[in-house]
Structure 1
Amino acid sequence: MTDDMNELIAAVGPGDAGRLVGMEDAVWVRIGERRERARMGQVRVAAVALALVIGVANGGLMLMAPRPEPSEMRIFTVSAGLSPLSGLDVRG
């Protein structure tokens, strides 16, 4: 289907109105498709904006949260050097 309606109307002769049958329906279908694409674009922008707001709020709350004190169990961490394999210079 041609996109320029003026060309389509000019191409139709005076007695050849059969080519214009269904043109109005096709125009409304295309208008509906464009509206749907625009609506989906707005939904995507809203979803990205909401995710950004939630991420910033979560990050801000994590910065304001008090830091936990070091645990007495830190001697059992891998970085403590107390592993039986640390003397063998084995890396896991």
Structure 2
Amino acid sequence: MTDDIERLIRMAAPGDAAGLAGVEDAVWSRVSERRDRARVSQVRIAAVALALVIGVTNGGLMLLAPRPEPSEMRIFTVSAGLSPLSRLDVQG
């Protein structure tokens, strides 16, 4: 950006302010674009940090939650040892 400004200043004749008329507007528009990009990146960082906090909190609460008691229907599960392959010591 500084190279563009220096080039424009060198091209303008001494006392010719009309050649530099759009320079200030161009500079301020680029400044506002950079500020907007900085705000967007700050919002992204805040969103990622919030998601991380929510995830860690949810995971921590899940670890603290009591485990459910085994159901009476567990005799029908695969791990019940009632499979015909359990006598053959085959694991699947």
What's the TM-score bracket when you normalise by the shorter of the two chains? 0.7 to 0.9
Bigger share in helix: 2
Tell me the TM-score normalized by structure 2.
0.74
- 1:32-71 equivalences under 5 Å are 32-71=32-71
Aligned pairs for 1:1-92 (under 5 A) are: 3-4=1-2, 5-14=5-14, 16-80=16-80
Percent identity, aligned pairs only, is 72
Which whole-Å CA distance do the structure 2 matches of 1:78 and 1:23 have between them? 76
Residue 31 of structure 1 and its aligned partner are, at CA, apart by: 0.7
Gap regions ≥5 residues in structure 2: 86-92
CA RMSD of aligned residues (A): 2.4
Letter in 1 for 2:58: N
Distance 1:19 1:77, change over 3 A: farther
TM value normalised by structure 1 = 0.74
Q: CA deviation at 1:81?
A: 6.7
CA displacement at 1:76 relative to structure 2? 2.9
How many equivalent residue pairs?
86
The superposition leaves residues 24-61 of structure 1 with CA deviations (integer Å, 9 ceiling, x where unpaired) of: 11111111110000000000000000000000100110
Q: Provide the C-alpha distance between the structure 1 equivalents of 2:81 and 2:19, rounded to a whole number of angstroms.
A: 85
